[in-house]
């Protein structure tokens, strides 16, 4: 264990326990992992791991990539990642099966500011694989040990079609609860069941969200277009720039503030982020 603390590049071996296709196009897979060594698991979970943090996942011979942690610390020793097949490492990861070993470093980054968010109304808004840290956040917020610390909870999840929606079993549970408002939306569907809205996420924000005060915080994760077009509806509803939180997905290498690969101006995304408020993003250089 001491070796893990001393060397920030130390990777822990983790075993793949489950793999399944998350979406009908098979581009998103969800992996369930467990630590091979119990001392690595103790170390990881003793770091006050926060929803919104990420880990660097390493496949020997292919590379190391940042992935948002989709499981919550309240799920106790469970590790879940949802991976979009985009290039070299993620394509290799998609070929791996149960029982195989890979490496992992983390938890890394700041996560969402859960202490500061206590007593607030929380709106979790997202789509695509970026929803992974929202899954972690929702599991955390709705756990019996935390639910009383937060006020109203709203979830808005969007996808292109019903088959592209994520975490369907989790959503079934969340929809049954009367202490959370869930809005699911798809861009198009041939089956108008009443289960979903039909329209994009910004449209649903305009239609369904109440007007809010400074006690409400929006956590927004998703494709750049979704984020871009969600900003105006959120402002119109009354969210303050400091109360809208984004998770930035810049390219990363070391994950610990050494290499400079992830920087935007003077801001080091891998250690100071990836979570930043809209007010902070507005202060970043224009080319971001
Ligand atoms: C904090 C953080 C959390 C992330 N969480 C997730 C997650 O939960 N699930 C998930 O599937 N992906 C996530 N990503 C994105 C993921 O890290 C990249 O998709 C991955 O690094 C691509 O690696 P590759 O070798 O497969 O692709 P490459 O062969 O390196 O590149 C393929 C394509 O992906 C683009 N790309 C490469 N790196 C990134 C990056 N960091 N962000 C965006 N685009 C990139 C390249 O420009 C290129 O177009 C996250 C990124 C960050 C920074
Ligand atoms: S990834 Fe190396 S400094 Fe951020």
Q: What is the pLDDT of residues 66-102, one digit of tens each?
A: 999 999 999 988 899 999 999 999 999 999 999 999 9
Q: Which long-range contacts (CB under 8 A, 24 or more apart) does 63-68 make?
A: 63/88, 63/89, 64/89, 64/103, 64/105, 64/253, 65/89, 65/90, 66/108, 66/249, 66/252, 66/255, 66/270, 67/132, 68/129, 68/130, 68/132, 68/133, 68/136, 68/247
Distance from the alpha carbon of residue 259 to the mean position of ligand 2, in angstroms: 5
Q: State mean pLDDT over 160-177.
A: 95
Q: How far apart, in whole angstroms, are the C-alpha atoms of residue 70 and residue 134?
A: 7
Measured between its terminal Cα atoms, the distance across the chain in Å is: 39
Query: Which ligand gives the minimal distance to the CA of 108?
Result: 1
Q: What is the pTM of this model?
A: 0.94
State pLDDT tens for residues 124-136. 999 887 899 999 9
Distance from the alpha carbon of residue 254 to the mean position of ligand 1, in angstroms: 14
Residue range 2-108, CATH number: 2.40.30.10
Ligand 2 neighbour 261 (Cβ under 6 A):
yes
Q: State mean pLDDT over 31-51.
A: 89
Ligand 1 neighbour 66 (Cβ under 6 A):
yes
pLDDT over 70 at 221, yes or no? yes
Ligand 2 neighbour 257 (Cβ under 6 A):
yes
DSSP H or E run through 25: none
Fold of 114-244: Rossmann fold (3.40.50)
Burial of 145 (0-12, 13-18, 19+ CB in 10 A): exposed
Distance from the alpha carbon of residue 250 to the mean position of ligand 1, in angstroms: 8
CA atoms within a 13 Å half-sphere pointing along the CA-CB vector of 111: 24
Give the nearest ligand 2 atom to 258 CA. Answer: 3
Classify the C-alpha dihedral 263-267-273-279 as positive or negative.
negative
CB 14 within 8 A of CB 103: yes
Give the start-to-end residue ranges of the domains of the chain. 2-108, 114-244, 248-283
Q: State mean pLDDT over 185-197.
A: 78
Distance from the alpha carbon of residue 55 to the mean position of ligand 1, in angstroms: 12
CB 152 within 8 A of CB 128: no
Widest pairwise Cα distance in the chain: 56
Q: State mean pLDDT over 37-54.
A: 88
């Amino acid at each position: 264990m001491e070796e893990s603390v001393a060397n920030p590049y130390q990777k822990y071996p983790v075993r793949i326990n489950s793999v399944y296709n998350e979406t009908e196009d098979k581009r998103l897979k969800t992996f369930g992992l467990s630590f091979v060594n119990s001392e690595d698991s103790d170390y990881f979970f003793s770091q006050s791991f926060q929803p919104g943090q990420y880990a660097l996942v390493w496949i020997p011979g292919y590379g190391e990539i940042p992935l948002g942690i989709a499981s919550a610390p309240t799920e106790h020793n469970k590790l879940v990642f949802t991976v979009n097949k985009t290039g070299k490492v993620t394509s290799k990861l998609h070929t791996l099966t149960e029982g195989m070993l890979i490496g992992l470093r983390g938890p890394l980054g700041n996560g969402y500011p859960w202490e500061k968010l206590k007593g607030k109304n929380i709106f979790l808004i997202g789509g695509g694989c970026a929803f992974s840290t929202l899954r972690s956040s929702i599991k955390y917020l709705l756990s019996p040990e935390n639910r009383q610390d937060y006020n109203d909870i709203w979830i808005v999840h969007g996808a292109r079609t019903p088959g592209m929606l994520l975490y369907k079993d989790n959503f079934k549970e969340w929809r049954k609860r009367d202490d959370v408002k869930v809005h699911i939306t798809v861009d198009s569907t041939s089956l108008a069941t009443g289960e979903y809205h039909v329209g994009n996420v910004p449209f649903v924000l305009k239609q369904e969200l109440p007007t809010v005060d400074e006690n409400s915080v929006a956590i927004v994760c998703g494709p750049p277009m979704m984020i871009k077009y969600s900003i105006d509806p959120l402002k119109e509803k009354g969210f303050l720039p400091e109360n809208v939180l984004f998770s930035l997905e810049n390219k990363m290498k070391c994950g610990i503030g050494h290499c400079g690969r992830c920087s935007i101006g003077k801001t080091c995304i891998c250690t100071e982020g990836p979570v930043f408020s809209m007010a902070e993003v507005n202060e970043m250089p224009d080319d971001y």
